[in-house]
Amino acid sequence: MYLVYGLDRQVYPSAYWFYYLISILVEFSVLVEISDHIFQSLPAVRLLGRALTIVISGVLALLYVLPAIIGSHDRQPALLDFALRASVTKILVLIALFFASRQFRSKLGKNVAGLMLGFSIYMGVNIANLAAAKAFDPAIYGQVLWILTPASYALCLLVWTIALWDFVPAPNGNIVSLVGGRDSKDVALELTHFNNKLSKLIDK
């Protein structure tokens, strides 16, 4: 984008918004990565979790995010609304993944927990930032918007750098590493049984 800005400043605004929209969509891949790590020890469940993450993201994008662009004739409010709805969608999927990990009592580990924490901070600041940008006049909030957006991204990268600096290998064995609890063994057996059934179904 700096190269585009240096070569042709008239093209830069359109190129920037195109880049910005693509980056918003690409961020959904972080959710797929988190889903993969949560169910890393269960290949069949991991495929199912990945599919559900993609389907839920796609459905929310079509029904909730896309109308923000289609239903508006003013580009700037439409882009702000699109970015805001996309961020809300990502947070909803992230919450669903968190509850899935809690339901299966999956031990997230430092790497995955850091990945989720950094992305949550980034999305949370984005939602508050974009909602404020819609509520206030652009002349008042415009400068704050373009400062907080890269600042939240830098904070997310800082959390990721700290969390991912040391690689923590996935738990060994055929079942997910579980936190304590009176029903931990039952959950592990049921989850492993479900994984085996799902593997046979996928093979067919």
Give me the residue spans of the domains in the chain. Answer: 20-192
pLDDT tens track for 185-197? 555 566 666 666 6
pLDDT tens track for 70-86? 655 566 677 778 888 88
- pTM (predicted TM-score): 0.72
* Cα 186 to Cα 79: distance, rounded to the nearest angstrom: 48
* Cα 121 to Cα 113: distance, rounded to the nearest angstrom: 12
Angle between helices 109-135 and 75-103 (to 10 degrees): 150
The more confidently predicted of residues 170 and 2 is 2
Q: Which of 26-40, 51-65, 126-140 has the lowest mean pLDDT?
A: 51-65
| Mean pLDDT to the nearest integer, 29-40 | 84
SS3 108: coil
CB 155, CB 70: distance < 8 Å: no
Q: What is the identity of the amino acid at 121?
A: I
* Cα 81 to Cα 70: distance, rounded to the nearest angstrom: 11
Cα dihedral angle (155, 158, 162, 163), rounded to 10 degrees? Answer: 60
**pLDDT at residue 141 tops 90:** no
Distances from the Cα of 44 to the Cα of 111, 133, 193, 197, angstroms: 22, 43, 11, 9
**pLDDT at residue 175 tops 50:** no
Nearest CA to 61 among 32, 37, 92?
A: 92
